[in-house]
A and B are shown apart, each in its own frame.
Chain A
Amino acid sequence: AQKITQTQPGMFVQEKEAVTLDCTYDTSDPSYGLFWYKQPSSGEMIFLIYQGSYDQQNATEGRYSLNFQKARKSANLVISASQLGDSAMYFCAMRERDFNKFYFGSGTKLNVKP
Protein backbone atom coordinates (compact mmCIF):
# COMPACT_ATOMS: atom_id res chain seq x y z
CA ALA A 1 0.00 0.00 0.00
CA GLN A 2 1.14 3.51 -0.72
CA LYS A 3 2.28 5.44 2.30
CA ILE A 4 1.24 8.85 0.94
CA THR A 5 -1.59 9.42 -1.53
CA GLN A 6 -2.26 12.67 -3.33
CA THR A 7 -5.28 12.20 -5.56
CA GLN A 8 -5.18 15.55 -7.37
CA PRO A 9 -2.57 15.58 -10.15
CA GLY A 10 -3.48 19.16 -11.01
CA MET A 11 -5.50 22.00 -9.53
CA PHE A 12 -6.51 25.47 -10.66
CA VAL A 13 -7.37 28.32 -8.32
CA GLN A 14 -8.21 31.95 -8.89
CA GLU A 15 -5.80 34.48 -7.45
CA LYS A 16 -6.78 35.61 -3.92
CA GLU A 17 -8.98 32.58 -3.34
CA ALA A 18 -8.24 29.72 -0.94
CA VAL A 19 -7.36 26.22 -2.14
CA THR A 20 -7.11 22.84 -0.43
CA LEU A 21 -4.65 20.19 -1.55
CA ASP A 22 -5.52 16.69 -0.41
CA CYS A 23 -3.23 14.18 1.24
CA THR A 24 -3.92 10.87 2.94
CA TYR A 25 -1.34 8.69 4.62
CA ASP A 26 -0.94 5.16 5.85
CA THR A 27 1.08 4.16 8.89
CA SER A 28 0.80 1.96 11.94
CA ASP A 29 3.41 3.95 13.88
CA PRO A 30 1.88 5.96 16.73
CA SER A 31 4.60 8.59 16.29
CA TYR A 32 5.04 10.24 12.93
CA GLY A 33 5.40 13.61 11.28
CA LEU A 34 3.64 15.06 8.28
CA PHE A 35 5.18 17.65 5.97
CA TRP A 36 4.30 19.71 2.94
CA TYR A 37 6.86 20.87 0.40
CA LYS A 38 6.60 23.26 -2.54
CA GLN A 39 8.63 22.72 -5.70
CA PRO A 40 8.70 25.64 -8.16
CA SER A 41 9.85 25.11 -11.73
CA SER A 42 13.41 25.87 -10.62
CA GLY A 43 13.50 22.46 -8.92
CA GLU A 44 14.28 23.26 -5.30
CA MET A 45 12.03 21.61 -2.71
CA ILE A 46 10.92 24.19 -0.16
CA PHE A 47 9.66 23.09 3.26
CA LEU A 48 6.31 24.71 4.07
CA ILE A 49 4.74 23.23 7.17
CA TYR A 50 4.99 20.40 9.70
CA GLN A 51 2.42 18.53 11.82
CA GLY A 52 3.38 16.05 14.51
CA SER A 53 1.11 13.10 15.16
CA TYR A 54 0.67 14.12 18.81
CA ASP A 55 0.02 17.78 18.09
CA GLN A 56 -3.44 18.79 19.26
CA GLN A 57 -3.69 21.93 17.16
CA ASN A 58 -3.55 22.18 13.40
CA ALA A 59 -0.26 23.66 12.23
CA THR A 60 -0.23 27.10 10.64
CA GLU A 61 2.54 29.03 8.91
CA GLY A 62 1.46 32.34 7.46
CA ARG A 63 -0.93 31.63 4.59
CA TYR A 64 -0.44 27.87 4.97
CA SER A 65 -2.41 25.69 7.33
CA LEU A 66 -2.59 21.97 7.69
CA ASN A 67 -6.00 20.41 8.23
CA PHE A 68 -5.02 17.36 10.29
CA GLN A 69 -7.70 14.71 10.74
CA LYS A 70 -5.97 11.88 12.54
CA ALA A 71 -8.83 9.39 12.54
CA ARG A 72 -9.23 9.77 8.79
CA LYS A 73 -5.45 9.81 8.26
CA SER A 74 -5.61 12.96 6.23
CA ALA A 75 -3.34 16.00 6.23
CA ASN A 76 -4.68 18.48 3.73
CA LEU A 77 -2.82 21.70 2.97
CA VAL A 78 -4.87 24.87 2.84
CA ILE A 79 -3.42 27.91 1.11
CA SER A 80 -5.35 31.09 1.80
CA ALA A 81 -5.38 34.14 -0.49
CA SER A 82 -3.55 32.43 -3.35
CA GLN A 83 -0.85 34.36 -5.15
CA LEU A 84 0.60 33.89 -8.62
CA GLY A 85 3.87 32.82 -7.00
CA ASP A 86 2.09 29.88 -5.42
CA SER A 87 1.98 28.13 -8.80
CA ALA A 88 4.18 25.06 -8.27
CA MET A 89 4.17 21.36 -7.47
CA TYR A 90 3.20 20.52 -3.90
CA PHE A 91 4.29 17.34 -2.18
CA CYS A 92 2.93 15.78 0.96
CA ALA A 93 5.40 13.69 2.96
CA MET A 94 5.54 11.58 6.08
CA ARG A 95 8.31 10.53 8.43
CA GLU A 96 7.75 7.56 10.70
CA ARG A 97 9.42 6.78 14.01
CA ASP A 98 12.44 5.47 12.12
CA PHE A 99 13.86 8.78 10.96
CA ASN A 100 15.26 7.22 7.82
CA LYS A 101 11.77 6.39 6.55
CA PHE A 102 10.65 9.54 4.75
CA TYR A 103 7.90 9.01 2.18
CA PHE A 104 6.65 11.42 -0.49
CA GLY A 105 3.41 11.52 -2.43
CA SER A 106 3.24 11.93 -6.20
CA GLY A 107 2.49 15.63 -5.94
CA THR A 108 -0.19 18.10 -7.02
CA LYS A 109 0.51 20.76 -9.62
CA LEU A 110 -1.18 23.98 -8.59
CA ASN A 111 -1.85 26.72 -11.11
CA VAL A 112 -2.96 30.11 -9.84
CA LYS A 113 -4.89 32.11 -12.44
CA PRO A 114 -4.82 35.92 -12.49
Chain B
Amino acid sequence: ETGVTQTPRHLVMGMTNKKSLKCEQHLGHNAMYWYKQSAKKPLELMFVYSLEERVENNSVPSRFSPECPNSSHLFLHLHTLQPEDSALYLCASSQDDRGSAGELFFGEGSRLTVL
Protein backbone atom coordinates (compact mmCIF):
# COMPACT_ATOMS: atom_id res chain seq x y z
CA GLU B 1 0.00 0.00 0.00
CA THR B 2 1.14 3.52 -0.67
CA GLY B 3 1.94 5.68 2.36
CA VAL B 4 -0.93 8.14 1.99
CA THR B 5 -4.10 7.18 0.13
CA GLN B 6 -6.80 9.58 -0.98
CA THR B 7 -10.26 8.76 -2.28
CA PRO B 8 -11.90 9.58 -4.53
CA ARG B 9 -9.26 10.63 -7.03
CA HIS B 10 -11.81 12.61 -9.04
CA LEU B 11 -15.08 14.15 -7.90
CA VAL B 12 -17.64 16.23 -9.77
CA MET B 13 -20.39 17.77 -7.70
CA GLY B 14 -23.10 20.38 -7.94
CA MET B 15 -23.23 23.36 -5.65
CA THR B 16 -26.02 21.84 -3.56
CA ASN B 17 -24.40 18.45 -3.05
CA LYS B 18 -22.72 17.09 0.05
CA LYS B 19 -19.67 14.91 -0.41
CA SER B 20 -16.58 13.89 1.52
CA LEU B 21 -12.94 13.38 0.70
CA LYS B 22 -11.09 10.66 2.56
CA CYS B 23 -7.43 10.33 3.44
CA GLU B 24 -5.67 7.42 5.10
CA GLN B 25 -2.01 7.21 6.09
CA HIS B 26 -0.13 3.99 6.75
CA LEU B 27 3.09 5.57 7.99
CA GLY B 28 2.38 5.81 11.71
CA HIS B 29 2.60 9.59 11.62
CA ASN B 30 1.05 11.83 14.25
CA ALA B 31 0.00 14.79 12.11
CA MET B 32 -2.21 15.14 9.05
CA TYR B 33 -2.94 18.06 6.74
CA TRP B 34 -5.33 19.24 4.03
CA TYR B 35 -3.93 21.50 1.30
CA LYS B 36 -5.73 23.14 -1.59
CA GLN B 37 -3.94 23.59 -4.90
CA SER B 38 -5.57 25.87 -7.45
CA ALA B 39 -4.18 26.72 -10.86
CA LYS B 40 -1.38 29.28 -10.72
CA LYS B 41 -1.50 29.59 -6.94
CA PRO B 42 0.84 28.32 -4.23
CA LEU B 43 -0.37 25.47 -2.09
CA GLU B 44 -2.78 26.73 0.52
CA LEU B 45 -2.81 25.08 3.93
CA MET B 46 -6.40 24.47 5.01
CA PHE B 47 -6.25 22.34 8.15
CA VAL B 48 -3.68 20.70 10.38
CA TYR B 49 -4.36 17.96 12.90
CA SER B 50 -1.70 16.98 15.38
CA LEU B 51 -2.41 14.03 17.66
CA GLU B 52 -5.99 14.14 16.35
CA GLU B 53 -6.58 17.69 17.54
CA ARG B 54 -7.01 20.54 15.10
CA VAL B 55 -4.19 23.01 15.59
CA GLU B 56 -4.43 25.14 12.48
CA ASN B 57 -7.33 26.54 10.50
CA ASN B 58 -6.32 29.20 8.06
CA SER B 59 -9.68 30.97 7.85
CA VAL B 60 -11.19 28.34 5.61
CA PRO B 61 -14.88 28.87 4.72
CA SER B 62 -17.30 26.84 6.82
CA ARG B 63 -18.48 24.94 3.75
CA PHE B 64 -15.32 22.88 4.30
CA SER B 65 -15.49 20.79 7.45
CA PRO B 66 -12.61 18.53 8.51
CA GLU B 67 -12.81 15.44 10.66
CA CYS B 68 -9.98 13.41 12.16
CA PRO B 69 -11.37 10.38 13.98
CA ASN B 70 -7.93 8.87 14.64
CA SER B 71 -4.31 9.44 13.72
CA SER B 72 -4.60 7.42 10.50
CA HIS B 73 -7.72 8.93 8.96
CA LEU B 74 -8.69 12.39 7.85
CA PHE B 75 -11.84 13.54 6.11
CA LEU B 76 -12.87 16.75 4.40
CA HIS B 77 -16.63 17.17 4.31
CA LEU B 78 -17.91 19.39 1.52
CA HIS B 79 -21.28 21.13 1.28
CA THR B 80 -22.76 23.96 -0.78
CA LEU B 81 -19.47 24.56 -2.56
CA GLN B 82 -18.80 27.25 -5.12
CA PRO B 83 -17.26 26.85 -8.59
CA GLU B 84 -14.10 28.60 -7.34
CA ASP B 85 -13.61 25.70 -4.93
CA SER B 86 -12.69 23.51 -7.89
CA ALA B 87 -9.09 22.47 -7.24
CA LEU B 88 -6.77 19.63 -6.36
CA TYR B 89 -7.08 18.77 -2.67
CA LEU B 90 -3.97 17.19 -1.26
CA CYS B 91 -3.71 15.29 1.98
CA ALA B 92 -0.38 14.91 3.75
CA SER B 93 1.02 13.41 6.91
CA SER B 94 4.19 13.93 8.92
CA GLN B 95 5.90 12.83 12.08
CA ASP B 96 6.10 15.90 14.25
CA ASP B 97 8.84 15.45 16.76
CA ARG B 98 12.23 16.99 17.27
CA GLY B 99 13.98 13.85 16.11
CA SER B 100 12.70 14.00 12.56
CA ALA B 101 12.93 16.43 9.66
CA GLY B 102 9.17 16.54 9.63
CA GLU B 103 8.82 16.23 5.88
CA LEU B 104 5.33 15.95 4.51
CA PHE B 105 4.27 12.81 2.72
CA PHE B 106 1.47 13.50 0.27
CA GLY B 107 -1.30 11.49 -1.25
CA GLU B 108 -2.07 11.64 -4.96
CA GLY B 109 -4.79 14.21 -4.44
CA SER B 110 -8.50 14.46 -5.10
CA ARG B 111 -9.39 16.52 -8.16
CA LEU B 112 -12.64 18.34 -7.36
CA THR B 113 -14.85 20.03 -9.94
CA VAL B 114 -17.83 22.06 -8.75
CA LEU B 115 -20.46 22.73 -11.40
Contact = CB atoms under 8 A, between A and B. Distances in A.
Range of interface residues on A (Cβ < 8 Å): 20 to 34
Contacts of A93: 104
A99 B102 contact: yes
A6 to B, nearest CB: 9
Contacts, number: 55
Contact of A100 (B48, B88, B111): B48
Nearest to A95: B102
Given A52-B101, A100-B50, A91 B43 contact: yes
Interface residues of chain A: helix, strand, loop or mixed (majority): strand
B11 to A, nearest CB: 13
A17 to B, nearest CB: 28
Given A100-B56, A106-B42, A44 B106 contact: yes
Given A45-B90, A50-B103, A52-B101, A104 B108 contact: no
> Which has the most chain B C-beta neighbours within 10 Å: A42, A45, A104, A107?
A45
Range of interface residues on B (Cβ < 8 Å): 20 to 34
B45 interface: yes
Contacts of B42: 4, 104-107
A52 B101 CA distance: 8
Nearest to A106: B42
Nearest to A50: B101
B94 interface: yes
Contacts of A42: 108
Contacts of B111: 43
Interface of A: 4, 33, 35, 37, 42-47, 50, 52, 91, 93, 95, 99-100, 102, 104-107
Please give me the 7 A-B residue pairs with the lowest Cβ-Cβ distance, nearest first.
A45-B106, A43-B109, A104-B43, A44-B108, A99-B96, A50-B101, A106-B42
